[in-house]
C-alpha cells in the first residue's frame, strides 16, 4: 500500500466525484484549473499507485489509458466510436466462458480486456 499523499488524494477525489473515464492529461488539466499545483509525472505516478492499490480502475484503449472510480463489481466497456463515451456492462456468462476457454488451452488466466466498439444510443439516434 503506497503512500496516499495529498496529490494522490486530490486525484482520487476528482475521479470518485465523477462518472467520467479520465486520462492522465485531462486529470492534470482539470486539477490545475481547480487551483491545484500538480505535475503531469505526478499524475501518472499517482494513477499507477492508486490502481495498484485498487483505489481506481483503468481501461487500456488503443491510444491511451483511462481511469475510472473503483467499483466493487468487475465490468467491461463499450466505447462509442463517434463521441468517445464509455459505458460499462457486466455479463457473468461471458466471464465464466473466458475461464473455460483459457483452461482448455492450458492458459493460466490472470486478467482480460473486453471492449465493444460501436455507436452508442445517443449518437445512433442523431445520424
Partner DNA sequence: GTGCGAACGATAACCATTATCGCTATCAAT
Partner DNA sequence: ATTGATAGCGATAATGGTTATCGTTCGCAC
Residues that bind DNA (CB under 7 A): 2-3, 5-8, 23-25, 37-42, 44-46, 48-49, 63-65
Name which of 23 and 68 has its Cβ closer to DNA.
Answer: 23
List contacts with a copy of itself (CB under 8 A): 60, 62, 65, 78, 80-81, 87, 89, 91, 93-94, 97-98, 101-102, 104-121, 124
Task: Report the partner that residue 2 touches, choosing among DNA, a copy of itself, none (CB closer than 5 to 8 A by kind).
Answer: DNA
Q: Which does 19 bind (CB under 5 to 8 A by kind): DNA, a copy of itself, none?
A: none
119 contact choice in DNA, a copy of itself, none (CB below 5 to 8 Å, kind-dependent): a copy of itself
Helix axes 24-33, 40-52, angle to 10 degrees: 120
User: Can you list the pairs that 48-56 forms with residues at least 24 positions away whose Cβ atoms lie under 8 Å?
Assistant: 49/2, 49/8, 50/8, 50/11, 50/12, 52/2, 53/1, 53/2, 55/12, 56/12, 56/15
Dihedral (Cα; 101, 103, 105, 107), 10-degree rounding: 110
Amino acid at each position: 500500500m503506497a503512500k496516499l499523499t495529498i496529490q494522490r488524494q486530490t486525484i482520487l477525489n476528482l475521479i470518485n466525484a465523477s462518472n467520467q473515464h479520465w486520462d492522465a492529461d485531462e486529470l492534470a488539466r482539470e486539477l490545475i484549473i481547480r487551483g491545484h499545483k500538480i505535475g503531469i509525472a505526478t499524475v501518472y505516478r499517482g494513477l499507477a499507485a492508486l490502481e495498484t492499490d485498487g483505489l481506481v480502475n483503468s481501461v487500456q484503449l488503443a491510444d491511451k489509458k483511462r481511469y475510472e472510480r473503483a467499483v466493487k463489481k468487475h465490468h467491461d466497456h463499450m466505447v462509442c466510436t463517434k463521441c468517445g463515451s464509455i459505458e460499462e456492462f457486466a455479463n457473468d456468462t461471458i466471464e465464466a466462458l473466458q475461464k473455460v476457454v483459457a483452461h482448455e488451452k492450458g492458459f493460466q488466466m490472470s486478467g482480460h480486456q473486453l471492449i465493444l466498439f460501436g455507436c452508442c444510443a445517443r449518437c445512433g439516434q442523431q445520424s
